[in-house]
Amino acid sequence: MGFFISGIMLHHYLQHGLVNGNRKYTVLKAKEEKTISVEFILSYVMPLFAFDFKNWQQTILFLHIFLILGWLSVKHNHFSNNVVLEALGYRVFHCVLDSEDRKQLDVNVITKDNMVLSLQEEVTIEFVNNDFAITR
């Protein structure tokens, strides 16, 4: 169920954009983040196996923990690479970008394109938070 809801929300944001607006940047350096999905699975999915969902007490405990972590993630604008992004064909690249005012930014870019092949090219991105951006 969570996978389905996450997929719908990601599809909406990736297709329609956010409220931050798009800006053009030149890609100076790019390196693909290959372990980020494995980190997500180890951090968020594997701990679920510690709960016995046949026991109501453990199920309620899990729901409390899940809701608290969800609330904290939204409150602190925490974004982690979800496996749904992989399923939709997106990859994450750690990039150094040069803005129009010659200010360099160090950011993780979510894209379907290979950013390593886009060095010295101009890309349009939209920031999700301070660390992550999406290509448009």
Q: Which residues, given as ranges, of the chain have pLDDT below 70?
A: 1-3, 6-7, 10-11, 13-21, 77-82
Our separate counts of H helices and E strands in the chain read: 4, 5
For residue 44, report the phi and psi dihedrals to the nearest 5 degrees. -115, -35
Name the domain count of the chain.
1
- pLDDT for res 96: 93
Asked, for residue 15, whether it belongs to a domain, the answer is no
- Cβ neighbours around 27 below 10 Å, total: 21
Q: Residue 122 corresponds to which tokens in the numbers above?
A: 């101009």
Amino acid 101: pLDDT: 84
Read off the pTM: 0.67
Q: Is the Cβ–Cβ distance between 124 and 135 less than 8 Å?
A: yes
CB atoms within 10 A of CB 48: 10
Return d(Cα 53, Cα 86) in angstroms, integer: 27
Range of the domain at 27: 2-10+22-135
